[in-house]
C-alpha cells in the first residue's frame, strides 16, 4: 500500500473512514483524538493515520479475550512518524508473524469483534476499525 491509500483486509483500496488523529497548536498529534491537547488547547486539525506506515514498538497475543473477540487476539503498539512527530497507537494485528521494529500499515476492517457476542446492543456501538498488517 502506498501512502495516501486505504485498504481492506484483502488489500483492495477502498473508501473507508479515516484513522483520525488530532493535531494541536504545539505540534502534538494524538491518537485517538482528545478534546484538549497536553497544553490544554483544542485541536487545530486532523491527520489520517491510514495514509502512513508505522513501526512495531511491542506486541503480544491474548488468549483470554472478551466475548466476540477472536482468540488468540494479536495486539501491538505501533509508532507512526507524521512530519517528525511520533504518534503511538494500540490495536489488533492481522497476524502473529511480526517482530519488534517491523513496518506495518493500517487496514480497515468492518468488524473488529462480533457485535452479537457482547452485552451491548449491536446497534449501540461502532464495531469497525483498523488492524495493523506487516508490510512485505
Question: Domain limits of the chain?
Answer: 20-134
As a whole-number percent, the residues of the chain with pLDDT over 70 amount to 82
Asked whether residue 87 carries a pLDDT value surpassing 80, the answer given is: yes
Model pTM?
0.82
- 63-72, 81-90, 118-127: which has the minimum mean pLDDT? 118-127
Cell numbers for 85, please give them: 512527530
| Percent helix, percent strand, percent coil in the chain, to nearest 5 | 5, 40, 55
**pLDDT confidence of 119, banded at 50, 70, 90?**
low
Q: Residues 6 or more apart from 87 whose CB is under 8 A from it?
A: 21, 29, 30, 31, 47, 49, 79, 80, 81
Helical segments of the chain, H only: none
Half-sphere exposure in the Cβ direction for 1 (13 Å, CA) = 27
Amino acid at each position: 500500500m502506498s501512502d495516501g491509500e486505504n485498504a481492506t483486509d484483502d488489500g483492495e483500496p477502498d473508501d473507508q473512514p479515516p484513522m483520525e488523529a488530532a493535531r494541536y497548536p504545539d505540534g502534538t498529534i494524538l491518537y485517538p483524538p482528545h478534546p484538549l491537547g497536553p497544553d490544554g488547547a483544542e485541536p487545530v486539525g486532523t491527520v489520517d493515520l491510514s495514509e502512513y506506515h508505522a513501526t512495531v514498538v511491542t506486541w503480544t497475543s491474548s488468549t483470554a479475550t472478551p466475548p466476540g473477540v477472536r482468540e488468540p487476539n494479536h495486539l501491538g503498539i505501533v509508532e507512526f512518524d507524521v512530519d517528525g512527530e511520533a504518534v503511538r497507537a494500540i490495536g489488533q494485528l492481522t497476524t502473529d508473524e511480526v517482530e519488534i521494529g517491523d513496518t506495518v500499515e493500517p487496514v480497515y476492517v468492518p468488524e473488529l469483534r462480533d457485535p452479537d457476542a457482547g452485552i451491548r446492543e449491536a446497534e449501540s456501538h461502532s464495531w469497525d476499525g483498523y488492524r495493523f498488517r506487516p508490510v512485505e
